[in-house]
């Protein structure tokens, strides 16, 4: 039999190697795309022979991408904010009240997790055509609200579950009306959950492609849709350059949220028992 | 404090009138009636699940009763929401708002009452001085020790001049030495302010040492309401006798029942007890006799005594010694005998055969269960 220490050391090494492999596997696509973005030639190839920043300039200057980016911001801002309010209200209702068909409603609210995005997109497309709505921002926003709502709902629901109700009772005992309790105690204490829920929704919405493909038009197309339309015609590294900017932007946003909004610090509320 | 015109002389500060509360099929409170007098420190004592916390929550308005009426200062509050009741409440975990400083926590109840800022600051400073936390205004709750957090919670409840102070096991999170000093301090402040206080605890020694009156609760009912001395010396039933303080339960036999006293035979001894709860019993019926550990007297085996046994354990407590004595003839359980001072350690060593007699007075007896 192998001595215990050698056996353990072997296990440790196997574990480390496995971990490295998994991490490498996870970042592999992003790494390949990042390297490909700096190719000087107008082809998507790996690894590049000559290097350049020019596809970044091209991506930034391309009109469809610029419009797509700003359209995406509009859609994301509206849809994640609406989802935040709706999700917060549902989360409250589910956490605090008992009502008939509660589990059914809960199920419907999280159902977009099992319904494919293209189904949701197609549904909204048919619906919009039926009621004579043009494919404007309203339809895109509505579609995105449905898609991101489950995530927001879950995030807020978990925060609510972890919120010690005695804070709210203490505030009420000190003479605070329910509205005052909500604004001075509940919402501030839930803020980390609300911010992270909103952020998560925003990232999902901004990246959403499948459903957006159905409900956007040339005028309202979001960045992922614009990118899809681009690769149908061109195959140059500007796509890769855009991806790199995408990743950098999202990472910066999350880093900002974590450090400047103090997500970590606020989340670390000390329990007194 | 504003005077409420309808208040009568000797009106209870808080009155529970046949209050019933159910949770699904479980009856948490069964037609409980209780008057809490103005300025009194009343303790609700009982094991977990006895309904004491439910009663407190009903007073606070966190729950509504299914039947019965609750009134504060003569005003029916059944439908009055918590925020209009003017109560002060201290929670088991203190529930200090973690996102507010000490000063903001304490000022919270004044802000909801729209007290102008200069007065607010003054009252916060005063109450923080009262609980000895001057200088801590800007600290956050997580930067405070357990004792300090409790003082903030008390200050926050006191600063609004509550009509009644409700305390939900506030000392359970503190270590023992700190607990005692906080208890004394709380009681001093409560006396000084003449504040009607309802205190919930499962700790019987805490209840005995702090209260003007104790309501011993079990299974949704008040089993006994009385002063700590009453509850300790004259329990009204077996539950109270067992739950409050240490007690020895011995099986005896009823010898005779008089108007006020009954005589119980235990081994070779005859013990006089109040006859109140034995009146209906036949002569020579079995009774359960409750004897406090300090009412036993250990004597040499050859002296006349109620029973004989031998010492099986010595628990030295500094100021007194607890002896466990096995008396096979009198009880299946070991007797707990408390001897003041520390002489018992030497005098009654382990394994010694001893006689145990019972000092007259202060025993309680109930029909055998």
A2 — pLDDT class (breaks 50, 70, 90): low
Nearest CA in chain A to B84: A175
Q: Which of B43, B112, B163 is nearest to A170 (CA)?
A: B112
Nearest CA in chain A to B140: A270
Confidence at residue B8, expressed as pLDDT on a 0 to 100 scale = 46
Q: Which of B58, B4, B63 is nearest to B33 (CA)?
A: B58
Cβ distance A175 to B173 less than 8 Å, yes or no, reads: no
Whether A239 is covered by a domain: the verdict is yes
Could you tell me if B251 and B213 lie in one domain? no
A160-183: pLDDT as tens digits: 888 999 999 999 999 999 999 999
Could you tell me if B276 and B203 lie in one domain? no
Quote the minimal CA–CA distance from B59 to chain A in Å: 11
Confidence at residue A261, expressed as pLDDT on a 0 to 100 scale = 62
Could you tell me if B30 and B65 lie in one domain? yes
Of B99, B142, B160, the CB nearest to A174: B160
Q: Domain count for chain A, please give it.
A: 1
Residue B7 has pLDDT above 70, yes or no: no
Report the C-alpha gap between A91 and A80 in whole angstroms: 15
Whether B3 is covered by a domain: the verdict is no
Confidence at residue B100, expressed as pLDDT on a 0 to 100 scale = 93
Confidence at residue A266, expressed as pLDDT on a 0 to 100 scale = 43
A51-96: pLDDT as tens digits: 888 888 888 888 889 999 999 999 999 999 999 999 999 888 888 8
Alpha carbon separation from B263 to A172, B248, B292, B297 (Å, rounded): 56, 18, 18, 19
End-of-domain residue from the set B204, B237, B270: B237
B89 — pLDDT class (breaks 50, 70, 90): very high
A262 — pLDDT class (breaks 50, 70, 90): low
Whether B168 is covered by a domain: the verdict is yes
Quote the minimal CA–CA distance from A163 to chain B in Å: 11
Q: Count of CB atoms within 10 A of residue B179's CB? A: 19
**Average pLDDT value over all residues in chain B:** 89
Could you tell me if B252 and B233 lie in one domain? no
Residue B84 has pLDDT above 70, yes or no: yes
**Where in the sequence is the domain holding A95, given as residue range(s)?**
66-267
Residue A265 has pLDDT above 50, yes or no: no
Residue B5 has pLDDT above 80, yes or no: no
Whether A16 is covered by a domain: the verdict is no
**Average pLDDT value over all residues in chain A:** 85
- Averaged pLDDT for residues B233-243: 92
Confidence at residue B3, expressed as pLDDT on a 0 to 100 scale = 45
Whether B8 is covered by a domain: the verdict is no
- Averaged pLDDT for residues B160-171: 92
Could you tell me if B260 and B326 lie in one domain? yes
B10 — pLDDT class (breaks 50, 70, 90): low
Whether A137 is covered by a domain: the verdict is yes
B310-321: pLDDT as tens digits: 899 988 888 899
Three-class SS of residue A230? helix
Report the C-alpha gap between A113 and A116 in whole angstroms: 8
Q: What is the largest CA-CA distance in chain A?
A: 77
Could you tell me if B302 and B231 lie in one domain? no
A116 — pLDDT class (breaks 50, 70, 90): confident
Residue A140 has pLDDT above 60, yes or no: yes
Q: Count of CB atoms within 10 A of residue A26's CB? A: 10
Cβ distance B109 to A272 less than 8 Å, yes or no, reads: no
Could you tell me if B226 and B352 lie in one domain? no
Partners of A170 on chain B (C-beta within 8 Å) are 89, 91, 95, 97, 156
Whether A35 is covered by a domain: the verdict is no
Could you tell me if B171 and B290 lie in one domain? no
Mutate to test the interface with B, among A167, A173, A193, A266 (most CBs of B within 10 A): A173
Alpha carbon separation from B88 to A118, B62, B94 (Å, rounded): 56, 13, 12
Cβ distance A171 to B108 less than 8 Å, yes or no, reads: yes
Partners of A176 on chain B (C-beta within 8 Å) are 83, 108, 112
Q: Domain count for chain B, please give it.
A: 2
Residue A227 has pLDDT above 80, yes or no: yes
Which CATH number characterizes residue B206's domain? Answer: 3.40.50.300
Whether A37 is covered by a domain: the verdict is no
Could you tell me if B154 and B268 lie in one domain? no
Residue B196 has pLDDT above 60, yes or no: yes
Which CATH number characterizes residue B331's domain? Answer: 2.40.50.100
Partners of B109 on chain A (C-beta within 8 Å) are 174-175
Report the C-alpha gap between B306 and B358 in whole angstroms: 7
Quote the minimal CA–CA distance from B295 to chain A in Å: 40
Cβ distance A169 to B83 less than 8 Å, yes or no, reads: no
Sequence-ordered strand ranges (E) for B92-230: 164-168, 197-201, 213-218, 221-226
B267-302: pLDDT as tens digits: 778 888 888 888 788 888 888 999 999 998 888 888
Whether B122 is covered by a domain: the verdict is yes
Whether A226 is covered by a domain: the verdict is yes
Alpha carbon separation from A189 to A270, B26, B81, B175 (Å, rounded): 12, 33, 23, 29
Nearest CA in chain B to A175: B83
End-of-domain residue from the set B214, B237, B260: B237
Of A174, A178, A271, the CB nearest to B109: A174
Per the rule left: phi > 0, alpha: psi between -120 and 50, beta: everything else, B360 is beta
**Where in the sequence is the domain holding B276, given as residue range(s)?**
246-367
Quote the minimal CA–CA distance from A258 to chain B in Å: 18
Whether A194 is covered by a domain: the verdict is yes
Whether B79 is covered by a domain: the verdict is yes
Could you tell me if B105 and B26 lie in one domain? yes
Could you tell me if B220 and B265 lie in one domain? no
End-of-domain residue from the set B237, B256, B288: B237
Partners of A159 on chain B (C-beta within 8 Å) are none
Which CATH number characterizes residue A153's domain? Answer: 1.10.3720.10
Mutate to test the interface with A, among B58, B81, B97, B145 (most CBs of A within 10 A): B97
Cβ distance B93 to A164 less than 8 Å, yes or no, reads: yes
- DSSP classification of residue B306: S
Sequence-ordered strand ranges (E) for chain B: 14-23, 26-36, 41-45, 67-72, 75-76, 87-90, 164-168, 197-201, 213-218, 221-226, 248-257, 261-266, 269-274, 286-291, 296-300, 307-316, 320-326, 335-340, 353-358, 364-367
Which DSSP helix (H) or strand (E) runs through A204? helix A187-207
Could you tell me if B165 and B209 lie in one domain? yes
Partners of A178 on chain B (C-beta within 8 Å) are 83
Confidence at residue A114, expressed as pLDDT on a 0 to 100 scale = 81
Partners of B87 on chain A (C-beta within 8 Å) are 173
Kindly provide the ipTM of the predicted complex, given to two decimals: 0.84
Of B62, B93, B160, the CB nearest to A175: B160
């Amino acid at each position: 039999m192998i001595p215990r220490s050698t056996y353990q050391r072997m296990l440790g090494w196997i574990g480390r190697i496995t971990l490295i492999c998994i991490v490498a596997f996870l970042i592999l696509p992003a790494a390949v795309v990042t390297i490909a973005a700096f190719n000087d030639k107008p082809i998507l190839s790996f690894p590049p022979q000559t290097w350049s920043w020019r596809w970044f300039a091209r991506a930034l200057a391309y009109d469809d991408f610029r419009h797509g980016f700003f359209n995406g911001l509009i859609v994301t801002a509206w849809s994640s904010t609406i989802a935040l309010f709706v999700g917060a209200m549902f989360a409250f209702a589910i956490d605090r009240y008992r009502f008939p068909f509660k589990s059914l409603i809960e199920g419907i609210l999280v159902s977009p997790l099992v319904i494919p995005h293209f189904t949701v997109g197609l549904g909204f497309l048919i619906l919009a055509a039926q009621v004579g709505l043009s494919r404007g921002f309203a339809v895109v926003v509505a579609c995105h609200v449905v898609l991101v709502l489950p995530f927001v709902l879950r995030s807020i629901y978990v925060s609510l579950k972890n919120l010690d109700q005695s804070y709210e009772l203490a505030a009420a005992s000190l003479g605070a009306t329910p509205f005052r309790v909500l604004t001075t105690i509940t919402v501030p204490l839930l803020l980390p959950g609300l911010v992270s829920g909103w952020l998560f929704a925003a990232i999902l919405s901004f990246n959403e492609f499948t459903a957006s493909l159905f409900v956007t038009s040339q005028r309202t197309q979001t960045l992922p849709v614009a990118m899809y339309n681009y690769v149908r015609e061109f195959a140059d590294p500007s796509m890769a350059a855009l991806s790199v900017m995408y990743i950098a932007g999202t990472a910066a946003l999350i880093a900002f949220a974590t450090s400047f909004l103090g997500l970590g610090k606020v989340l670390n509320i000390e329990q007194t028992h | 404090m504003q005077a409420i015109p309808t208040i009568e002389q000797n009106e209870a500060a808080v009155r529970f009138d046949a209050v019933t509360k159910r949770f699904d099929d479980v009856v948490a409170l069964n037609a409980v009636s209780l008057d809490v007098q103005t300025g009194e420190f009343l303790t609700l004592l009982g094991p977990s699940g006895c309904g004491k916390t439910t009663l407190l929550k009903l007073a606070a308005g966190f729950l509504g009763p299914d039947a019965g009426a609750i009134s504060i200062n003569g005003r029916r509050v059944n439908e009055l929401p918590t925020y209009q009741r003017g109560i002060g409440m201290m929670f088991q975990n203190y529930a200090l708002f973690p996102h507010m400083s000490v000063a903001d926590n304490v000022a919270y109840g004044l802000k909801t009452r729209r007290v102008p800022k200069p007065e607010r600051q003054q009252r916060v400073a005063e109450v923080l001085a009262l609980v000895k936390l001057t200088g801590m205004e800007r600290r956050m709750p997580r930067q405070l020790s357990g004792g300090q957090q409790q003082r903030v919670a008390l200050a926050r409840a006191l600063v609004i001049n509550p009509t009644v102070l409700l305390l939900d096991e506030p000392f359970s999170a503190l270590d023992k030495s700190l607990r005692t000093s906080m208890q004394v301090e709380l009681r001093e402040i409560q006396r000084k302010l003449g504040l009607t206080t309802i205190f919930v605890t499962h700790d019987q020694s805490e209840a005995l040492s702090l209260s003007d009156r104790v309501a011993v609760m079990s299974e949704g009912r008040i089993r006994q309401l009385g002063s700590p001395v009453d509850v300790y010396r004259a329990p009204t039933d077996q539950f109270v006798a067992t739950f409050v303080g240490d007690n020895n339960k011995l099986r005896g036999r009823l010898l005779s029942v008089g108007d006020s006293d009954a005589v119980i035979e235990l081994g070779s001894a005859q013990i006089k007890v109040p006859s109140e709860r034995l009146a209906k019993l036949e002569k020579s019926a079995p009774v359960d006799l409750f004897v406090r550990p300090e009412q036993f007297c250990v004597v040499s085996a050859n002296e006349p005594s109620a029973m004989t046994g031998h010492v099986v354990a010595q628990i030295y407590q500094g100021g007194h010694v607890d002896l466990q004595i096995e008396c096979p003839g009198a009880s299946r359980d070991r007797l707990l005998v408390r001897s003041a001072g520390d002489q018992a350690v030497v005098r009654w060593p382990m394994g010694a055969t001893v006689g145990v007699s019972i000092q007259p007075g202060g025993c309680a007896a109930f029909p055998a269960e």
